[in-house]
Amino acid sequence: MPAIPITANETGPMTSVDPCANTELAAQSPGFVWLASQSPRRQELLRQIGVRFELLAPGPDEDAESLEAFRVGESPTQYVERVVLAKAAAASERLVRRHGEPASGRAAPILVADTTVAIGGRMLGKPADDGEARAMLEALSGRGHRVLTAVAVVRAGRLEHTISVSRVRFERLSPAVIEAYVASKEPFGKAGGYGIQGMAAAFIRRIEGSYSGIMGLPLHETAKLLKRAGLACGADTR
C-alpha cells in the first residue's frame, strides 16, 4: 500500500495561541494517540499526563535500528531531526499496513520520538556491550553533556516536530561505581548508557532543561504538539 503523504513543519518556539481552538480537529479526534515506540519510559510519561495511547511499535519485519545509525559529519541536532522524521514516515506506513488507510482527519495522531546524548559534537547512542557502556560512563564522568530529544506528531498527512535540548552534569565517577552500574544492566537500551529515572540519578549534580526530555519524551513540548493535532491531555480540557 502507498505511504501516507506527509507535509513536514518544524514548530520552532511554541506560541501562546491555544491550538485547541481548532474545534474541528478536536471534534474528529478518536481520543487517543498511536505511540510508535517500544520504550516503556515513553509509555509511562504519556500516562503521567493522562494521554491515552495504543502501541504502533515496529514489527519483526522492520529494521528499526538501521534508522538510528549515525552518519559521518552529522551534528546531534541534524541526527535527531533526521531520525524522528524517518520514524514518522515508517510509522505512517505501518499504520496503513496494519489498519488500512484511515479517513482523512479522523485518524488518531501518531507520536514518535528519538533521543541522543552528546558531548560537544560527539554522540553517544545505546551501548552494545559492557565495554561500550563503561566507555560512555567514563566519558560522562565529571563533565557536562546535552540530551536532545526530537518529537514529531503526524495527523491527516501533516507532520509537526520540535527538539528539546537539556544539559546534564555528572559528578566524577570512580571505576568501582562505573563497574557496579554496568553490572546492574541499567545502561542498556538507553542513549548515553544511563537512565536519569534509575540509579544514575545519584550521579547527576544538576540539570538544565526538561527532566522528562532527558527520560525520552519532553512532556511540555509533546502536550503542545498533541493539542495542535486536536488531542488534549488529561488535565487540559480547553
Residues with catalytic function: 114
Beta bridge partners of 169: 144, 206
Q: For the chain, what percentages of helix, strand and coil (3-state, to nearest 5) are there?
A: 40, 20, 40
Distance, C-alpha 23 to centroid of its chain: 27
Segments of 2-82 assigned E as strands = 7-10, 33-35, 53-55
CA atoms within 13 A on the CB side of 184: 14
C-alpha cell at 112: 514518535
Round to the nearest angstrom and report the end-to-end CA distance of the chain: 37
Q: Could you count the other beta carbons within 10 Å of the beta carbon of residue 119?
A: 16
Placement of cell 559529519 in the chain: 73
